[in-house]
Structures are given as C-alpha cells and as structure tokens.
Amino acid sequence: MKKAIRYLRFSHIGQSNGSIEQQELYTDQWLKFNKVDLVDTFIDRGRVRGHLTTLISKN
C-alpha cells in the first residue's frame, strides 16, 4: 500500500475556522478512495498577529 504524509495549512485570517478540519475531511476521503496509508499529519496554522506559528505533528 502507498503511504502519505499530510500537510494542512491555515494561511490567513480570512479563512474559516473550520479550514483545517475541512482539509482533513477531504484528504481522509482521498486517502480512503485511493487506498493510501496515512503515516503522519502536519498542521501549519500560518501567521497569528504577524508571528509565525510552529508546525505540529498529529501522529
């Protein structure tokens, strides 16, 4: 089975608060449909008040 690492990004304030969750839902569906095993997920919440945020691993 193919393996994947997922990268989810919240890029700006104008995006919905559910943006990360939406990206996660879409990629979950894609992974299942394409029979790809998820190895890890990285979440980048972009900038908060002008400061870069850290990248978080979920797995």
CA distance 27 to 30: 5
CA distance 32 to 15: 26
Given this model, what pLDDT does residue 38 score? Answer: 94
pLDDT digits (tens, 9 = 90+) for 3-49: 999 998 876 555 556 788 889 999 999 999 999 999 999 888 766 55
Please list, in sequence order, all residues whose beta carbon lies within 8 angstroms of the beta carbon of residue 24, skipping any fewer than 6 positions away: 6, 8, 41
Residue 39: give the domain boundaries. Answer: 2-57
Q: How many CA atoms lie within 13 A of 30 on its CB side?
A: 11
> How many domains is the chain partitioned into structurally?
1
Count of C-beta atoms within a 10 Å radius of residue 6: 19
